[in-house]
Amino acid sequence: MKLDERHSFVSTDAVADWVDTNSHLPDNSVFLTFDDGYRDFVETVLPILERYEVPATVYVSTKLIKQQRPPFDYLLQEAISATDWVSLDTSDFSLEMETKQTSAKRAAYNQIRSRFKYATAEERRSVLDQVKEPDMSAVEMLTQDQIKMLSDHPLVTVGSHGHEHVPLDGISKTAIKHDVSQSKSYLENLTGGRVHHFSFPYGGWDYTSRRCVADIGFTTAVTTTPRTVSRHDSPLGIPRFDGFERGSKLKSGTTNVG
């Protein structure tokens, strides 16, 4: 599908082949990915993809699906946006801040998110309780039936975004293997097919986590390093722009793509 005169939409598989085997891709190709597994992918995004015949990959965090609970950073953002005052006091971090203005809300979110990115589930729950218990009624995760339907859809690829949605560069090798393999087998049992695409939660990856993801059987992995893809990239470290920046972009060429 042509986005405009200069860009084309391609699949994650086509991008991985391009960096791995030097296969052909149109100049200025774009690939679309969606992390976490929100239900609005089916309700809002899929009809648009179908209308324009655009491929996309959905990376699902399997525990969030099982519990039908959005990830911590999403809940934190919701909680802060619903309160004019953030009061947080834990054993080694405290924050008292008026959050009427959007800029203050963003500042509070960034501070708390970066401090508790590697925290345990219990610590995160305590943070959310103290800030303001978020209203979860508006947020819905994909159901198992929807994931199965997406895996059979010709335009959609289902990948893993880990099980617990924790950054893999902050946990032990054993914990990485447990989390990633749990997610892979859950999705493969659900869809009846092989799942070989991975997205690092929070973009958190390092040599060990990349090695583990490969050992468990994933052939591609995307990060949140915000730049265009180069032929020199590994299929297990494909960079992406997030939706607030600009589309992850590719260009067939000889060296780094700028």
Please report, as ranges, the residues that interact with Zn ion according to CB under 5 A. 35-36, 201
Residue (8 or 33) nearer to Zn ion, CB: 33
Residue least distant from Zn ion (Cβ)? 35
| Closest to 204 in 3D by CA, of 174, 234, 166, 242 | 166
Going by the DSSP 8-state scheme, the letter that residue 170 receives in this structure is G
Strand order in the sheet with 32-36: 32-36, 56-60, 156-160, 197-199, 220-222
Residue (18 or 198) nearer to Zn ion, CB: 198
- What is the nearest approach in angstroms of Zn ion to the Cβ of residue 35? 4
- What is the nearest approach in angstroms of Zn ion to the Cβ of residue 22? 31
- What is the nearest approach in angstroms of Zn ion to the Cβ of residue 113? 12
37 with 147: CB under 8 angstroms? yes
Q: Where are the alpha helices (DSSP H) in 132-230?
A: 144-151, 173-191, 207-216
Residue (35 or 169) nearer to Zn ion, CB: 35
Per-residue HEC secondary structure of 12-61 comes to: HHHHHHHHHHCCCCCCCEECEEEEECECHHHHHHHHHHHHHCCCEEEEEC
Burial of 4 (0-12, 13-18, 19+ CB in 10 A): exposed
Residue (14 or 75) nearer to Zn ion, CB: 75
Residue (64 or 190) nearer to Zn ion, CB: 64
32 with 10: CB under 8 angstroms? no
- What is the nearest approach in angstroms of Zn ion to the Cβ of residue 223? 12
- What is the nearest approach in angstroms of Zn ion to the Cβ of residue 69? 13
Residue (134 or 201) nearer to Zn ion, CB: 201
- What is the nearest approach in angstroms of Zn ion to the Cβ of residue 61? 6
Residue (63 or 210) nearer to Zn ion, CB: 63
- What is the nearest approach in angstroms of Zn ion to the Cβ of residue 129? 22
Going by the DSSP 8-state scheme, the letter that residue 229 receives in this structure is B
CA contacts within 13 A on the Cβ side of 200: 31
> How many residues are recorded in the chain?
258
